[in-house]
Homo-oligomer: A and B are copies of this chain.
Amino acid sequence: MRVSNCSVSFWQEAVDLLSDICGPAHVLTDTDILYSYGQDETLGLNFGFDILVKPGTAEEVAAIVKTCNELRIPITPRGGGSGVTGGALPIQGGVVVSLERLNKIIRIDEINGYVVAESGVITAELCEQVEQHGLYFPVQPSSKAYSFIGGNVAENAGSIHSCRYGTTAQYVLNLEVVLPTGAIIWTGANVPKNATGLNLTPLFVGSEGVLGIITKVVYRLIRRPEHEVTLLAGFETMEAACNAVLAIKQASISPAAVELIGQEALHLTAAYLNRTLPLVKEGIKAHLLIGLQEVTESALLHAMEKTGSVLEKYTTEPILAGTTALEKEQLWKLRFSIGAALSGKGKTYRDIDISIPLSLLYQYITKVEEIAASYHLAVACFGHALDGNLHTMIMLEQHMGPQAEAKAAEAVKNIYAYAIANGGVISGEHGIGMLQKEFMEVQFSEDHLALSRSIKRLLDPRDILNPGKIF
């Protein structure tokens, strides 16, 4: 369904109705403006659509949804546009609802430890604000500088801290959601324990905008851990790095981050940054970046010693420790530049975000590289090693042409089949969006899919909301 071939007067009527709801200043049809809302961070894709709407309240969102539902116009909700599986791409045209004006932090409740905020608040902004009240929101994705909290919830975002603190789902107490009917509901309550009725909140977490539009988020917050250190270890082989990760899992340490970076990602990013970086040198095939956070200094020292003594068994290189903000920034610099190094200047990548049982970490990486190599493709491997959630990006360049894309698609198919056959899932934190739909049938049983599809149909019988995603 692409409705753009309807008559001009149809769209003019839609613009008028939406302008009545949001005010004409927030209903846009200018091609140049629409262009930048037709893309997120998925490959180099851009989709044309018809009307951009920027509502200012949940009630306006509800009225937009009702109107579009009556007119059978597809709606694509949009947060910060940081997705890599196409969740915010308006693939069937129609209306894009940008939540950028829902950007208010409504209440930070210090005593009860939660924050109520509109879904268009930027993640980093929320994190900073709650920290000023002595509180902490630990799930900070790499895109936090521009991702929206509503998008984080819709994708059940993870972060480098998920191995200790879990993913977004574990912090969502309550959501205000506009259903495809235009009804506005609060899914839960602002209390940490709740066994009252069906558990609706998590149904919307990770639902990628296909069941409702999130307009407010209530996050449970924790106390900020007061003592923190970053360790960097270099390894002569990827196998040694993976074995170190397994050993950390078995030791009674609970690191706040264990990020693995493979050789290809190391070298590409070092070249992109074009500066001297710690432990980037001949003979180093993988890095482990380890974040430790503890409530006391002595507990931190204990965790450092324990982690150090584990790491030493797998590398002869010195282990670097960063304690000041500057030192930590230097150690994390490479990790947080990988995304930028892999894209831009005609480069892009096919995102792979598989989660596999930790015991298969090395076996999985080897298999991915083997499959990619068989298609003459290169892979940049990095990510959340202790969660078994790695990003093994297949690198693409414009000059490689559609043939390379076709090869990448074949390689992805083989990699996914391997991961699923071995207990893995095709997405740990990036979602299905439009990019991974075809693999849902490989991942799930027919009965599972039938149930998921029937829930979508129940909530959105006209398939108005983010159509063409997940299913």
Interface assignment of A5: CB less than 8 Å from any CB of chain B:
no
Contact B193 A429 (CB under 8 A): yes
Identify which of A186, A191, A431 gathers the most chain B CB atoms within 10 Å of its CB. A191
Interface assignment of A170: CB less than 8 Å from any CB of chain B:
yes
Q: Which of A73-81, A93-101, A438-446 sits within the interface?
A: A438-446
Contact with B along A169-199 (1 / 0, CB 8 A): 1100000000100011111011111111111
CB distance from A79 to the nearest CB of B (A): 15
Contact B447 A355 (CB under 8 A): no
A210's closest neighbor in chain B, by CB?
A: B198
Interface assignment of A1: CB less than 8 Å from any CB of chain B:
no
Contact with B along A204-247 (1 / 0, CB 8 A): 01110001000000000011101000000000000000000010
Contact B452 A191 (CB under 8 A): no
Q: Nearest 10 A-B pairs (CB), nearest first?
A: A202-B202, A193-B428, A299-B299, A183-B447, A298-B298, A111-B359, A196-B425, A191-B355, A195-B427, A193-B389
Known: A223-B252, A447-B184. A193 touches B206 (CB 8 A): no
Residues of A within 8 A of B (CB): 109-113, 155-156, 158, 162-163, 166-167, 169-170, 179, 183-187, 189-203, 205-207, 211, 222-224, 226, 246, 249-250, 252-254, 294-296, 298-299, 302-303, 353, 355-359, 384, 387-389, 423-432, 440, 443-445, 447-448, 450-452, 454-456, 458-459, 470
Contact A198 B470 (CB under 8 A): yes
Q: List 12 A-B contacts (CB under 8 A).
A: A167-B193, A169-B199, A179-B451, A183-B451, A191-B356, A191-B425, A193-B355, A193-B389, A196-B426, A196-B440, A197-B470, A253-B295
Known: A191-B428, A451-B179, A454-B458. A186 touches B445 (CB 8 A): yes
- CA–CA, A389 and B194, complex, Å: 9
CB distance from A196 to the nearest CB of B (A): 4
Contact B388 A192 (CB under 8 A): yes
Point out the residue from B201, B296, B452 that lies within 8 Å of A198, measured CB to CB.
B452
Point out the residue from B109, B194, B448 that lies within 8 Å of A200, measured CB to CB.
B448
CB distance from A233 to the nearest CB of B (A): 21
Q: What residues of chain B lie closer than 8 Å to A424, measured between beta carbons?
A: 189, 191
